[in-house]
């Protein structure tokens, strides 16, 4: 008996959105469902529906909504008059009902401004949407409209099926709506976290409070900042664990290596006599390589405290580029440099920061080297002031990284290179943190990678 109430609002909303045009089959179905329903009940429900429409409308759209809603209720009431209703009394009743409908809409234009609670709901940092039990969208706040990247007036009144094919919604957003719907219906998941195409982490919650009379409340919150804090804490935990391992085994390994190296040097004359001096050279080089790995291992767990001194960023970067230029030329890479503030200075341990910069530049060369075919490598280095920080940017046009690689980039022992140790970037991360700075990375497959190093300026 009350099925018409569920259909009424979305059909009215579509009528208003489409400038008074609507599918005839839907209108006919609603009209048939309203046969025998008292006109007063229709008017009351129409008034509630118009209030919903006006609650999200922009000031410049309110007059159009009122006008189109009045046309809708006028056509409806006229169509519901029976053929026999030609008597004067019934005619007068119909005119009275039309007058009441008009009065309802006129009253809407002079309604009181939204309360503080409604304003808070509109401007809160979480996206909020309200669906009725039939899946019709009754309300969205401004934040939800921003997350969906579509105006509210184009969404209100749409049912779930219409949202899946909505022309104002991007394909990626429609896919996420479908994914949330499937999780709720098939897996009974009412709280789930998603990562959208731009990398944001969104927490979606669906509830059905008793106070909403069967309606569903959907809230979406951007938790990207919390995820970054969580990942930073997790990264620190891993580095702390690495420190414990390093302290336990590093020195025990280096001691026997030192002894082996000494005895090999004593045996070198005898190896030369039998023509095997190459064996000695290989053994010594491998021992030195093992010592370097252990040194990186120790530094990754606890780099030495920085011995800070004031240095111009311009001078620091030029010296670093000078150290890398010859290798870059041999690999067919061009290093471009630009600074926007020649007087920009930082207080750092020059040796440690150079280690970070050289490590990132070497990784950029490796990424460029891995691009198949003829490829002109380019490494662009920039420096500028960002608030109270000095920002150094190192960008390459190498092969780029996938998101899975990007998420584990600073993990100890994680590497994509066959001969890599996976310690270089974890050491760099710790050095920058010890200097009170941050390091960020952006990368796209086949488009290159960009490292951004922020250090406090002086």
Angle between helix 62-79 and helix 39-56 axes, rounded to 10 deg: 160
What distances in angstroms separate CA 407 from CA 248, 365, 442, one per listed residue? 28, 21, 11
Given this model, what pLDDT does residue 449 score?
95
User: Distance (Å, rounded) from C-alpha 246 to C-alpha 301?
Assistant: 7
Given this model, what pLDDT does residue 330 score?
86
Structural domain 116-222, CATH architecture = 2-Layer Sandwich (3.30)
B/e letters for 410-420, b = 16+ CB within 10 Å, e = fewer, are bbbeebbeeee
In terms of DSSP H, where are the helices of 204-276? 224-273
For strands 389-396 and 345-348, give the pairing.
Answer: unpaired
Given this model, what pLDDT does residue 360 score?
94
DSSP string, 103-148: HHHHHHHTPPPPPHHHHHHHHSSSEEEEE-TTSBEEEE-HHHHHHH
Given this model, what pLDDT does residue 110 score?
46
Q: What is the token pair recorded at 412?
A: 């100890």
What are 218's strand-pairing partners? Answer: 129, 206
The low-confidence residues of the chain, meaning pLDDT below 50, are 82-96, 98-100, 102-106, 108-112
Given this model, what pLDDT does residue 452 score?
96
Main-chain dihedrals φ then ψ at residue 248, nearest 5 degrees: -80, -35
pTM for the model:
0.45
Given this model, what pLDDT does residue 439 score?
94
Domain spans of the chain, in order of start:
3-109, 116-222, 229-301, 309-456
Place of tokens 């934040």: 143
Widest pairwise Cα distance in the chain:
130
- Determine whether domain 309-456 maps to CATH 3.30.300.20: no
User: Distance (Å, rounded) from C-alpha 37 to C-alpha 335?
Assistant: 78
Provide the 8-state DSSP code for 159: B
Given this model, what pLDDT does residue 421 score?
65
Given this model, what pLDDT does residue 453 score?
97
- CATH fold match for the domains 116-222 and 309-456: no
Cα pseudo-dihedral 421, 425, 427, 432, rounded to 10: 180
Given this model, what pLDDT does residue 132 score?
82
What are 195's strand-pairing partners? Answer: 201
């Amino acid at each position: 008996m009350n099925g018409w109430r569920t259909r009424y609002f979305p059909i009215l909303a579509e009528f208003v959105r489409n400038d008074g045009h609507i599918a005839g089959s839907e209108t006919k179905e609603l009209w048939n469902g309203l046969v025998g329903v008292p006109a007063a009940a229709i008017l009351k429900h129409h008034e509630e529906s118009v209030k919903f429409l006006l609650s999200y409308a922009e000031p410049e759209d309110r007059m159009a909504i009122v006008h189109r809603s009045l046309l809708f209720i006028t056509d409806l009431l006229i169509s519901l008059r029976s053929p026999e209703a030609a008597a004067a009394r019934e005619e007068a009743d119909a005119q009275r009902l039309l007058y009441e409908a008009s009065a309802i809409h006129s009253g809407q234009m002079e309604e009181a401004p939204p309360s503080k609670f409604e304003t808070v709901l509109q401007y809160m940092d979480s996206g909020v949407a309200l669906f009725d039990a039939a899946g019709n969208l009754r309300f969205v706040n401004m934040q939800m409209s921003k997350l969906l990247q579509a105006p509210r007036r184009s969404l209100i009144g749409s049912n779930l099926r219409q949202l899946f094919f909505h022309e104002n919604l991007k394909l990626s957003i429609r896919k996420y709506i479908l994914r949330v719907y499937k999780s709720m219906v098939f897996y009974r998941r009412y709280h789930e976290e998603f990562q959208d195409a731009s990398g944001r982490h969104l927490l979606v919650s669906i509830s059905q409070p008793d106070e909403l009379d069967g309606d569903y409340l959907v809230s979406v919150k951007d938790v990207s900042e919390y995820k970054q804090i969580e990942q930073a804490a997790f990264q620190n935990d891993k580095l702390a664990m690495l420190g414990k391992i390093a302290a336990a085994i590093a020195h025990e390994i280096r001691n026997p290596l030192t002894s082996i190296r000494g005895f090999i040097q004593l045996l070198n004359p005898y190896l030369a006599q039998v023509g095997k001096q190459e064996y000695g050279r290989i053994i010594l080089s491998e021992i030195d390589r093992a010592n370097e790995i252990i040194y990186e291992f120790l530094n990754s767990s606890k780099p030495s405290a920085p011995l800070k001194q004031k240095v111009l960023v311009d001078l620091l970067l030029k010296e670093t580029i000078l150290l890398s230029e010859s290798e870059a030329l041999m690999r067919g890479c061009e290093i471009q440099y630009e600074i926007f503030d020649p007087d920009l200075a930082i207080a750092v341990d020059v040796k440690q920061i150079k280690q970070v910069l050289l490590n990132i530049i070497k990784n950029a060369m490796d990424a460029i080297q891995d691009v198949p075919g003829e490829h002109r490598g380019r490494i662009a280095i920039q420096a500028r002031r960002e608030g109270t920080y000095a920002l150094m940017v190192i960008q390459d046009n190498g092969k780029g990284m996938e998101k899975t690689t990007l998420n584990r980039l600073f993990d100890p022992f994680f590497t994509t290179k066959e001969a890599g140790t996976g310690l270089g970037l974890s050491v760099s991360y710790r050095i920058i943190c010890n200097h009170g700075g941050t390091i960020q990375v952006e990368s796209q497959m086949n488009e290159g990678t960009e490292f951004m190093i922020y250090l406090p300026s002086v």
